[in-house]
Amino acid sequence: MKDKIFEGLQKMGKTFMLPIALLPVAGLLLGIGSSFTGDSFVSLYDLEWLLGEGTVLYGVLTVLKDCGTIVFDNLPLLFAVGVALGMAKAAKEVAALSAVVAYFMMYASLTSTITNFGNIEKLQQTPGLIASVLSFEATMNTGVFGGIIMGLIVAALHNRFYKIELPDALSFFSGTRFIPIVSAFAAVIVGMILAFIWPYAGAGIAWLGSVVAELGYFGTFLYGFIYRALIPLGLHHVFYLPFWQTALGGTAEINGTIVEGAQNIVFSQLANGQVVDPEAAKFFSGLFPFMIFGFPAAALAMYQTAKPERKKDVKGLMMSSSLTSIFTGITEPLEFSFLFASPFLYFGVHCVLAAFSFVIMHFLNVGVGLTFSGGLLDFVLYGILPGQGITNWIPVVLVGIIYALVYYFVFRFFITKFDLKTPGREDEVAESKMYTKADYQAKKAGGTTSNEPVQDEMSHDIIEGLGGKANLVDVDNCATRLRVTIKDGKLVDQAMLKSTGAAGVVVKGNSAQVIYGPKVSNIKSNIDEYLASSTNTAPASASSVKPSNPADEMSADIIEGLGGEENLIDVDNCATRLRVTVKDGQLVDQAKLKSTGAAGVVVKGTSAQVIYGPKVVNIKSNIEEYRNGKL
């Protein structure tokens, strides 16, 4: 039960990264547009002639600001789509479309219920509860929670019904076509329910936010400590997001509009040229001192305490990880380099220092926000450029220098005092070395005669380290990790995974996380392509492996009728037909396809259409899952 909960939270946290990944771009547009058109910046540098209202450059920058703002204004909808897309087992595009439909239907139902049965005047007494959302006026602002709720509901309905078979008279609406319909009906019901319960939920969230605020610096400390302590479990997204995007992080009135969520407050104040509220920025500003200054110093300590013969190997890892931390605020490659060597160094030292960083920034009234993480890019855009008078960014640098010294000496002391096996100090180099990409490629070039590309060999080793292809259920990624659902966690070979360049491996039940840093997106794409290719499977013939159920057997026969797996380029469907792109149309066996129940087969060049009628939606889904080895 515990493992299932962890697996579910891990998967949900992963889906948050889809909309969150948009924030750096949106924030970049908003930050540049707001910073260079703000009255304080223009007047400070006497640039009215260049950036004043009415100039061409002012117009261009305003366009950038508006384009960035629209993303932040519609984050709940993006979360609905992202959660549904990420949680869906198959036919993800259908889940995404259904989430859009459901989100709009939910708000239509919610708004109409309030109008006809609610008391707007009473509801408006709760700050931020009533607002204008999308095209709906005087409705409840459910924030990203509303988007997440609809995304989860749509995903659950999708996974339950995407292969449903309806009676013949309604068979056109079978399979994936049923999902937008059932999602719409569910959204109507959810909207009506939320109209009555959300006022209490909204009041409860506002109350929790006030409790966090009333805890003062201790509340800030708890936030910072828990945030960093959850990093190894990959559940930090689930923890911090409500503070960033809901009333848990605060509520403020800005230019007559009620704004909820710390991140939204900060960016709204920046966009309006107002001084950033430290009470909102306290959820972000504490990241900068240890990400830009502290961690590189810790990396220097680990490099200097490495064995002399290992320093050359460790130097590349520490340097690349430090630069990643400085510029982007992605710290996991460094964090996992010492987490397993000394959990105390991570939880007892680093998490405590990080928590105090949040407290110190809060105490000094620093107002620097961010879109993604506490790297130099965010610091410059949302700290330095808006100006000291807006963000009070100078204390970040002063405290950061002190933190660099603290991290260096504390890490050096614990590593040498307790002989911690940080990179370069391991007893068995082959097992614990954390290879850089260059190390990995050099290793492969010198130790294999395979003609496969390096990324194919790396994908092969990762799959083997995860227990083999047969042990995989689902492979996905967030910003820095492969997030894998497996059949048996005991089959995971952590040493092998680390030899591919992984900074760390976390296994909980049937969930595995493999930390590669920002390059994980390409690694995951390479794995997808490797799994989809026909050259990486065992050389067993189609006839030697009997499918395990009728759906598998039919899918195998259809694929064979289309010329085999190696002849397929793309498989899709319309209302009644499989529409397939093949490499060689002459390999299509029409008689074989008709034996599977096809009413007809049309082949034109490299295009084949196999007519099955309305049930084709489920047939296509079965083929898709069969090819992915998930049935």
- pLDDT (tens digit per residue) in 503-550: 888 888 888 999 887 788 889 888 988 887 644 444 344 444 455 577
Q: What is the pLDDT of residue 443?
A: 43
CA distance 603 to 589: 10
Q: What is the pLDDT of residue 547?
A: 57
The answer as to whether 247 is a domain residue is no
203 in the same domain as 110: yes
Mean pLDDT across 46-66: 90
Listed residues 188, 216, 244: the one ending a domain: 216
Mean pLDDT across 75-84: 92
Mean pLDDT across 404-422: 93
Which residue has 């959820």 as its token pair? 283
CA distance 206 to 140: 14
Name the domain count of the chain: 4
Q: What is the pLDDT of residue 293?
A: 97
586 in the same domain as 506: no
Cβ atoms 337, 238 nearer than 8 A: no
Listed residues 430, 449, 470: the one ending a domain: 430
291 in the same domain as 147: no
CA distance 186 to 501: 45
CA distance 11 to 510: 12
Poorest-pLDDT segment among 213-227, 294-308, 529-543: 529-543
- What is the tens place of the pLDDT at every residue in 170-196? 888 888 999 999 999 999 999 999 999
- What is the tens place of the pLDDT at every residue in 17-45? 678 777 768 877 877 887 777 665 676 56
The answer as to whether 125 is a domain residue is no
Q: What 3-state DSSP class applies to 138?
A: strand
Q: What is the pLDDT of residue 39?
A: 67
Q: What is the pLDDT of residue 63?
A: 95
Distances (CA, A) of 173 to 142, 163, 574, 625: 31, 11, 12, 20
pLDDT reading at 338 higher than 90: no
Contacts within 8 Å (CB) and 24+ apart, 490-494: 491/466, 491/467, 492/465, 492/466, 492/467, 493/464, 493/465, 493/466, 493/467, 494/465
CA distance 74 to 382: 21
The answer as to whether 465 is a domain residue is yes
∠ CA 89-371-375, rounded to 5°: 110
Poorest-pLDDT segment among 136-140, 232-236, 445-449: 445-449
115 in the same domain as 153: yes
554 in the same domain as 523: no
Which of 128-132, 134-138, 208-212 has the highest average model confidence (pLDDT)?
134-138
The answer as to whether 191 is a domain residue is yes
472 in the same domain as 377: no
Q: What 3-state DSSP class applies to 375?
A: coil
pLDDT reading at 488 higher than 60: yes
The strand pairing partners of 578, in sequence order, are 573, 610
pLDDT reading at 51 higher than 80: yes
Q: Check the CA dihedral 513-516-517-518 and report its sign.
A: negative
Can you read off the two tokens belonging to residue 310?
């290992």
pTM of the full structure: 0.67
Closest C-alpha among 155, 413, 196 to residue 305:
413
Poorest-pLDDT segment among 9-18, 290-299, 538-547, 597-606: 538-547
Q: What 3-state DSSP class applies to 202?
A: helix
Can you read off the two tokens belonging to residue 53?
């209202």
The answer as to whether 243 is a domain residue is no
∠ CA 506-230-362, rounded to 5°: 150
352 in the same domain as 443: no
293 vs 615 pLDDT, higher one: 293
Closest C-alpha among 94, 111, 212 to residue 158:
94
Cβ atoms 30, 69 nearer than 8 A: yes
Cβ atoms 572, 620 nearer than 8 A: yes
pLDDT reading at 434 higher than 80: no
Can you read off the two tokens belonging to residue 336?
């996992």
Cβ atoms 454, 500 nearer than 8 A: no
479 in the same domain as 350: no
319 in the same domain as 362: yes
272 in the same domain as 387: yes
Listed residues 378, 397, 430: the one ending a domain: 430
Cβ atoms 369, 284 nearer than 8 A: yes
Q: What is the CATH number of the domain that holds 587?
A: 3.30.1360.60
Poorest-pLDDT segment among 27-31, 283-287, 312-316: 27-31
153 in the same domain as 10: yes
Distances (CA, A) of 576 to 173, 286, 487, 589, 614: 11, 57, 35, 20, 5
∠ CA 519-524-527, rounded to 5°: 130
Give me the domain span that covers residue 150: 2-120+133-216
Residue % of the chain over a pLDDT of 70: 88
- Exposure pattern of 142-178 as b/e (b: 16+ CB <10 Å)? bbbbbbbbbbbbbbebbbebbbbeeeeeebbbbbbbb
| Summary mean pLDDT of the chain | 85
Poorest-pLDDT segment among 25-39, 91-105, 278-292, 299-313: 25-39
- What is the tens place of the pLDDT at every residue in 353-374? 999 999 999 999 999 999 878 8
Distances (CA, A) of 325 to 38, 299, 506, 517: 30, 10, 21, 10
480 vs 195 pLDDT, higher one: 195
The answer as to whether 17 is a domain residue is yes
The pLDDT confidence band at residue 455, using thresholds 50, 70 and 90, is: low
pLDDT reading at 206 higher than 80: no
CA distance 462 to 596: 37
Which residue has 């009473």 as its token pair? 122
273 in the same domain as 139: no
Q: What is the pLDDT of residue 337?
A: 76
Mean pLDDT across 141-157: 91
pLDDT reading at 430 higher than 50: no
Cβ atoms 268, 254 nearer than 8 A: yes
CA distance 558 to 568: 11
H helices present in 483-589, as ranges: 494-499, 520-532, 550-561
Closest C-alpha among 120, 113, 116, 118 to residue 138:
120
Q: What is the pLDDT of residue 534?
A: 46
Which of 324-333, 473-482, 541-550, 608-617 has the highest average model confidence (pLDDT)?
608-617
Which of 121-135, 426-440, 576-590 has the highest average model confidence (pLDDT)?
576-590
CA distance 272 to 34: 8
The pLDDT confidence band at residue 241, using thresholds 50, 70 and 90, is: confident
The pLDDT confidence band at residue 476, using thresholds 50, 70 and 90, is: confident
The pairing of strands 130-133 and 251-254 is: unpaired
The answer as to whether 238 is a domain residue is no
CA distance 357 to 395: 11
Q: What is the pLDDT of residue 543?
A: 40
The answer as to whether 385 is a domain residue is yes
629 vs 322 pLDDT, higher one: 322
CA distance 364 to 383: 14
The pLDDT confidence band at residue 265, using thresholds 50, 70 and 90, is: very high
H helices present in 434-583, as ranges: 437-447, 454-465, 494-499, 520-532, 550-561
